[in-house]
């Protein structure tokens, strides 16, 4: 399972509330990613990190922020959740070299009511 955990695994929250999702890895990989997966859209990159305190935006970053203060943790924050952010969120890690695949965490199902 590449040593990736996500918490919480399920969450229901109300519109306008802040939400933080956590991704934790135990294998010291440099690269970490946050994706969302929605029917009809596939996996879309939200933000990624290429080291401690080094992050960048992905395809669908609006409404999301991230932080990486330690190698093992990558946090995704929804400052004010909206119903359009109801989705399944996956964290992934990789070695970052050209041929290296990404390994995915188990996912977090977030429902914003």
Partner 1 sequence: GQNIDQPTEMTATEGAIVQINCTYQTSGFNGLFWYQQHAGEAPTFLSYNVLDGLEEKGRFSSFLSRSKGYSYLLLKELQMKDSASYLCAVRERGGSQGNLIFGKGTKLSVKP
Binding mask 64-83 vs partner 1 (x if CB under 8 A, - otherwise)?
--------------------
- Tell me: does residue 101 bind partner 1 (CB under 8 A): yes
Candidate residues 9, 10, 41, 70; the one interacting with partner 1 per rule CB under 8 A: 41
- Tell me: does residue 43 bind partner 1 (CB under 8 A): yes
The answer to whether the beta carbons of residues 48 and 77 sit under 8 Å apart is: no
Distance of CA 85 to the CA centre of its chain: 13
- Tell me: does residue 106 bind partner 1 (CB under 8 A): yes
Q: Give buried/exposed letters for 42-80 (b at 16+ CB in 10 A, else e).
A: eeebbbbbeeeeebeebebbeebebebeeebebbbebee
Distances (CA, A) of 101 to 6, 33, 64, 84: 19, 12, 25, 29
- Tell me: does residue 105 bind partner 1 (CB under 8 A): yes
Stretch that binds partner 1, among 10-18, 60-68, 75-83, 91-99 (CB under 8 A): 91-99
- Tell me: does residue 9 bind partner 1 (CB under 8 A): no
- Tell me: does residue 28 bind partner 1 (CB under 8 A): no
**Cβ-Cβ contacts under 8 Å for 42 (sequence gap 6 or more):** none
| Sites of contact with partner 1 (CB under 8 A) | 31, 33, 40-45, 48, 50, 56, 58, 90, 96-99, 101-107
């Amino acid at each position: 399972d590449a040593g990736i955990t996500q918490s919480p695994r399920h969450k229901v929250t109300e519109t306008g509330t802040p939400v933080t999702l956590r991704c934790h890895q135990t294998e010291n990989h440099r690269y970490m990613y946050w994706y969302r997966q929605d029917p009809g859209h596939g996996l879309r990159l939200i933000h990624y990190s290429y080291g401690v305190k080094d992050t960048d935006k992905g395809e669908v970053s609006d409404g999301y922020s991230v932080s990486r203060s330690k190698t093992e943790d990558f946090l995704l924050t929804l400052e004010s959740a909206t119903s359009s952010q109801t989705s399944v969120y996956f964290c992934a890690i990789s070695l970052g070299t050209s041929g290296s695949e990404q390994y995915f965490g188990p996912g977090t199902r977030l429902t914003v009511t």
